[in-house]
């Protein structure tokens, strides 16, 4: 199942006020429970990059990389029922993609919003 995208400013502000965030060298991850009325099995994410990240070309590259991370790797590690905001940092555009994957895994596990491990493995 493909995650849903947060687009409204209010959703970003709600997740930021949720109080759960973790910064790694390549990414800052914020998490908050999904509000009532939305199926808790869904996974929702938002992406942002401020001008501190760099010029427009650098910000767009960082956002493309975060989008690929959110679509391909976030559903594997993140628990459903939470909204996630991935915030680009200056190193996001130039950091190796495997390091960004490790950053995402570390942040999600430190926030204690990781998908439960299967008992099979």
Q: Domain boundaries in the chain?
A: 4-110
pLDDT of residue 101: 95
Sequence-distant (6+) residues with CB within 8 A of 5 are 44, 45, 46
Between residues 55 and 4, which one has the greater pLDDT? Answer: 55
Rounded to whole angstroms, the Cα distance separating 40 from 79 reads 10
* CA dist., res. 3 & res. 25, Å (int): 24
For residue 20, the model assigns a pLDDT of: 87
Task: Please provide residue 61's backbone torsions phi and psi, each rounded to the nearest 5 degrees.
Answer: -65, -45
The confidence score (pLDDT) of residue 36 equals 85
With cut-offs at 50, 70 and 90, classify the pLDDT of residue 117.
Answer: low
pLDDT recorded at residue 102: 95
> Residue 120's pLDDT is what?
47
Exposure string of 2-34, with b = 16+ CB inside 10 Å and e = fewer, is ebeebeeeebbebbeeeebbbebebbbbbbbbb
Facing residues of 22 across strands?
A: 29
Model pLDDT, residue 96: 96
Q: What percent of the chain has pLDDT over 70?
A: 92
Residue 29's pLDDT is 95
4-110: CATH number: 3.30.230.10
- How do beta strands 20-23 and 82-88 pair? unpaired
């Amino acid at each position: 199942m493909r995650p849903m995208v947060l687009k409204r400013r209010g959703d970003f502000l709600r997740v930021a006020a949720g109080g759960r965030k973790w910064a790694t060298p390549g990414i800052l991850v914020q998490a908050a429970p999904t509000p009532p009325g939305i199926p808790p099995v869904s996974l929702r994410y938002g992406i942002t990059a401020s001008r501190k990240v760099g010029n427009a070309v650098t910000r767009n590259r960082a956002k493309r990389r975060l989008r690929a991370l959110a679509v391909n790797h976030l559903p594997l590690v993140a628990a459903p029922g939470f909204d996630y905001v991935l915030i680009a940092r200056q190193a996001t555009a130039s950091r190796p993609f495997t390091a960004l994957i490790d950053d995402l895994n570390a942040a999600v596990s430190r926030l204690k919003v990781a998908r439960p491990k299967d008992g099979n493995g």
